[in-house]
Chains A and B, each alone.
Chain A
């Protein structure tokens, strides 16, 4: 595999990976900041307002037509939550120009337009255009309210919020309806400027580009937007971690809590939040990865085999590792009257892991399944970007190849040792209204 090429433009850091493997050039630009109750909603609203228009294309219609003209260059903007950080992520995908006759400047034009979305939005009298902010405020409120519509992700989110009610990680990714009214075109523009001043913009480009040509284009198009950088650490250091990146102090283990929520639903959703004694930065993190895999990462895992295949209680029963935090979340959709039974079976699986009741097949299948996932992640353009982001957040430099080697080295004893640190923190149950 080719190596990343870096270009240090101060507050803009360019990461370039030329490869002929793909037909599309994929671009990701990301700003990172600590998750904070005060700013979470405004920051979440921001990308939507930026997509409303630029200096040059001052309506969303014009802007989207400009992207569509570039062979449907796919522009996206969203906020995300990674551990205790909030990220604002912009993406654009554009076809390899050699595949299309007469499209020789496609990449350069797409980068120019993309950079303008992030750094040259439509401004009026020193603020965003009011109509755009008001329109997006209304839509953002609906976006938050509509989270209840998808019961699987709603239940997962409610479990996280209940478990981490006093931690940044428990903050809602999209923010809060009650914050929206206070936001206006001036305050949001201020939020935007602070974000650009306090955060490094990391730009990742992966795809069939000529390295020299692409580097020149990126430098040209992005240099105009480079601003003074006042954030923590040196702007020149691509690895500089945003404030708040250091892992939060371990919390005292509290009593397991049960949260029941009632809505008009046909199926119950049971979600469990678990805390483990290790996370991405730690040496024994690979054992946690394997632990989660044996518990519920695969169709051969304990949850699928016992909750679904043996007891026929559920269609889905799985677990997910939140590596940056060292949390595991279990999710299952069950008949409402089966709550106690399903809870019991899940508890038995956790006890089995802690007691070392792990077969050789379970361990090996899990390791092979994880290796397969890591290798396949190489077919995603932004896997490398995520690993670098995690390195900035945790200080821990891991590569796909190292993770593969580390996971293969994990022994049953390592998993059992890890299992003994895992504690159920919160059980969340979404059920019907009953009578």
Chain B
């Protein structure tokens, strides 16, 4: 067991890699009543083409299958896994992202039992033709629910403009058509490829003793026979050089248009540390230029171009990266032009020193607030680990960030050829007035 102390944060993380390859991280949080545990595989919606390890054949699977698999893991021969957690009162759940699938619980009692349930159900697939068919109705309704959600719609529409047919644009749940094609064999293929312990990470956060948790996990894993697995071969098409189109539009029953726009990265650095630096610089830069305390944010509201929900984000993974700006807007086209022009101006002038210092302080405070949420810190810790980064060290990266580096990164990112936008308009009948 290896111990890492983060003196400034007054936090400690214990780590061990088990013989079967599983990475275990434990973060004690004294005085917390709950313990939060998550078990994550590095496998998400973008992993649609890979070599199946048993037969060594390259296969392509239907969109949405990682998420479908997540649903189906909760069913065992003896019934529903939720019932097992329910015995101790634990709350269990799961979620799928672009590059990961996480199974989790939070509990206030019987931690060892719940850890056992978590490890056992995720390491025991049980798919039948019947239970796979049954799930299609449930996930079909989940997809329909998201289809009616303007935030979701406008976001995926933007990803499609950025990435076209690249898997980064695939809706995590797939489509009603794509999930219809899923068979139990597809699920087993994905399971065998991606659920080997060497591709997984277990994180436990709570008022816990690290060594006793490790004993439980070692004993549980020692009782299962995993053959060593070679590195997974995954195939992704090259990142498109330019967005597939400049603008995508659709309509929904909403009161006001919703708009998102941004720049995609043309290249992604293969070095995780440089990615972490770029991510920190972009987040800080966008906050300084467009955050709630910026002049531009206030101007956009005063000019009636958007409301207080206007926000910015930047995401960078090992495969793709992009900035996203937007929110509600009665005049989405004007908002896009106004922000785009301002950003191009900023790319030249750069962020000013006082704004940089302020945004840096703010980022430090926001980072510390994450530490008060066992679930929040576990999820971010896991996501960053899977991308080769340590979230608890990111405060140091932030403190060391220099303004010239930030401005160079910002200038590099704001590239007109990488710009795209997405608008969801109200149905004419909902808005009550014609558009434009």
Contacts and interface: CB of A to CB of B under 8 A. Distances in A.
Contact of B148 (A64, A99, A145, A267): A267
Contact of B87 (A67, A265, A315, A365): A365
Given A68-B362, A263-B430, A300-B82, A149 B371 contact: no
B53 to A, nearest CB: 32
A257 B433 CA distance: 32
A67 B293 CA distance: 9
A335 B139 CA distance: 12
Interface in A284-312: 298-300, 305, 308-309, 312
Nearest to A207: B372
A151 interface: yes
A60 to B, nearest CB: 6
B236 interface: no
Contact of A368 (B87, B141, B363, B430): B87
B87 A267 contact: no
B224 interface: no
B365 A73 contact: yes
Contacts, number: 193
Interface in A91-117: 93-96, 99-100
Interface in A324-380: 333-335, 361, 364-365, 367-373, 375-376, 378-379
A161 interface: no
Contacts of A379: 32-34, 374
B359 interface: yes
A65 interface: yes
A73 B429 CA distance: 42
B144 A142 contact: no
A64 to B, nearest CB: 4
B116 interface: no
A356 B401 CA distance: 64
Given A23-B369, A316-B145, A71 B362 contact: yes
A64 B293 contact: yes
Contacts of A370: 89
A12 B351 CA distance: 42
Interface in A150-187: 150-152
Contacts of A138: 304
Contacts of A99: 8-10, 368
A136 to B, nearest CB: 10
Contacts of B139: 315
B219 interface: no
A64 B430 contact: no
B30 interface: yes
Nearest to A375: B108
A376 B34 contact: yes
A57 B253 CA distance: 40
A68 B361 contact: yes
A403 interface: no
- B contacts with A: majority SS: mixed
Interface stretch (B130-138, B158-166, B404-412): B130-138
A370 B9 CA distance: 33
B91 A372 contact: yes
A229 interface: no
Nearest to B136: A312
A59 B136 CA distance: 53
Interface stretch (A14-22, A29-37, A385-393): A14-22
Instruction: Pick the most buried of B134, B251, B365, B430: most chain A CB atoms within 10 A of its CB.
Output: B365
Interface in A52-108: 59-61, 64-65, 67-74, 93-96, 99-100
Contact of A61 (B145, B252, B298, B361): B298
B390 interface: no
Contacts of B330: 142
A313 B141 contact: yes
14 contacts: A24-B368, A64-B292, A65-B293, A68-B292, A69-B361, A71-B361, A71-B364, A71-B368, A99-B8, A146-B254, A263-B430, A368-B86, A375-B33, A376-B108
Interface of A: 19-24, 59-61, 64-65, 67-74, 93-96, 99-100, 135, 138-139, 142-143, 145-152, 263-267, 298-300, 305, 308-309, 312-316, 333-335, 361, 364-365, 367-373, 375-376, 378-379, 433
Q: Which 7 A-B pairs have the closest CB atoms?
A: A72-B362, A368-B89, A312-B137, A72-B365, A372-B89, A71-B365, A64-B293
